[in-house]
Amino acid sequence: MAGRNHAVAARGSGGALRAGELDPHRKTLLDEAGMVWEPGEEAWENKLATLGSYHRANGHLAPRQDAVWDDPAGGDPVLVGQHMANLRRKGQKNGLGKDQERAAERAAQLAAIAPDWNCPWPLDWQRHYRVLADLVDADGALPDIQRGVLFEGDDIGKWLQRQKNPAQARHKQHSSGAWQPSRSG
């Protein structure tokens, strides 16, 4: 392929690979040249890089649904909250894809970034916990945070006060039917 246009040399190779007709040596050469066999996989890898960047900066993958994050590759801002909401979808519109094997692989990749990316508890609980965990002093003390203290639109003071009063959290759980965690960690 030396001296030839890679696009011309690669034309039709994806179909040949899927059909099992691509010569292994040619596949190796195309891999070395940076061939993208599945455009959807390239998009997925870009999404994973963005989610990894978000997690490193925030300590969680539980962004508000309206959260936007700068693309680590320098592209346009990414709707990271909407991406995560889509990835958590179940049923026919499974956000990880219809192919069960690929969906399991993608779930494992997300779990490698954040084991609790699809936590069974409320996402706002996860988000508030991580924000407050980052505020804990080296000696383990949390500063006094009152109701009404907002962080990125979330009332973390209200959440913290609710966590300090397990009876109130249990009452809310029973009266609303919704699960309300009453632990602080």
pLDDT value of position 4 = 46
Q: What is the pLDDT of residues 133-150, one digit of tens each?
A: 888 877 788 888 899 998
Q: What is the pLDDT of residues 48-89, one digit of tens each?
A: 999 999 999 999 999 999 999 987 777 789 999 999 999 998
**Average model confidence (pLDDT) for the chain?**
78
**Distant-in-sequence, close-in-space partners of 54: CB < 8 Å, separation ≥ 6:** 61, 63, 69, 80
- Give the confidence band of 109 by pLDDT, cuts at 50, 70, 90: very high
Residue in the structure block whose two tokens are 């500063």:
143
**0.85 exceeded by the pTM?**
no
**Distant-in-sequence, close-in-space partners of 116: CB < 8 Å, separation ≥ 6:** 60, 61, 62, 126
pLDDT value of position 36 = 66
pLDDT value of position 130 = 86
Contact (Cβ atoms closer than 8 angstroms) between residue 145 and residue 155: no
Cα distance between residue 150 and residue 145, in whole Å: 10
Structure token digits, residue 12 = 């039709």
Q: Which of 124, 164, 127, 126 is nearest to 144 (CA)?
A: 164
